[in-house]
Amino acid sequence: MSFNAKIKAEILKTLIEVTSPLVSEVKLNIGKDGISLRAVDPAHVAMVDLQLNKEAFEEYQADEMELGIDIDRLNAIMRLSSTGDIVSLEYDEKNNRLIVKVGNLTRKMALIDTAGMPDPKMPTLDLPGKVILKASEITKGVKASESISDHLALIVTDDAFEVFAEGDTDIVNLKLPKDSLVELESDGKYKSLFSIDYLNNMIKPLKGDIPITIKVGNDNPTRVEFDIAESKGHVIYLLAPRIESE
């Protein structure tokens, strides 16, 4: 069983940033065409699905295998890397370790047994409201909302996308008309409430004008999607709604 790869530090850091808010341990599915992971947070509120094609790596050679990774331990060594560093990853089958090298620094990381780790299925959702917008826009709406409430509404109509939050005293409303969005598809008005903490963590890895796809229904989960690693990787998040009590 072999796995040898070299990857830019910032791409590996993105993988950590995408998964660490939800789980501390993850099962990496290693294949000939790249790596993937899927995990659900302990509260079963959010799911992440990440694909990283082999083209995202500087070098890549692998057999089919599963590696159980402690995200915090991987993050500890990645914190010592700089943008532009190339990280070497190698599976040591004899000792069941992942050897991580950054420059002259080497960490031999014990792997976790994947036998007890779940294999969550990606649910099929019919979410009729779809919007594609710049990451910076949704970041603005979420950041403005977090100081007044712990939840916000995502609203898609046939002519706009809205982020709406109401606190005890203040209201925040970000309304983006159709012509300021990359894309909008909706045959009516769809609205669901979500935890700001979770949304914040989901959009944290996104910088600037990266396009982000958001799908919503009425009191349905939201599906948030974006590319990573210069479009050589893809992330899907699902977030369960908060149902308003009457």
Q: What is the mean pLDDT of residues 76-80?
A: 94
For residue 213, the model assigns a pLDDT of: 98
CATH number at residue 34: 3.10.150.10
Residue 228 has pLDDT above 60, yes or no: yes
The residue from 59, 76, 110 where one domain ends is 110
Residue 1 has pLDDT above 50, yes or no: yes
Q: Is 17 found in the same domain as 103?
A: yes
Give the largest CA-CA distance in the chain: 61
> Which residue is associated with the tokens 């963590």?
201
Q: Which amino acid is at 184?
A: L
Task: Decide if 124 is inside a domain.
Answer: no
Q: What is the mean pLDDT of residues 108-127?
A: 92
Length of the chain: 246
Domain that holds residue 80: 3-110
From the number of C-beta atoms within 10 Å of its C-beta (0-12, 13-18, 19+), residue 84 rates as exposed
Q: What is the mean pLDDT of residues 28-36?
A: 96
For residue 24, the model assigns a pLDDT of: 94
Q: Is 102 found in the same domain as 138?
A: no
Looking at the structure of the chain, the number of domains it has is 2
Residue 246: band (very low, low, confident or very high) from pLDDT cuts 50, 70, 90: very low
For residue 244, the model assigns a pLDDT of: 65
Q: Is 11 found in the same domain as 43?
A: yes
Q: What is the mean pLDDT of residues 205-232?
A: 94
Q: Is 173 found in the same domain as 135?
A: yes
pTM of the model: 0.94
CATH number at residue 140: 3.70.10.10
Q: Do the beta carbons of residue 27 and residue 114 sit within 8 Å? A: yes
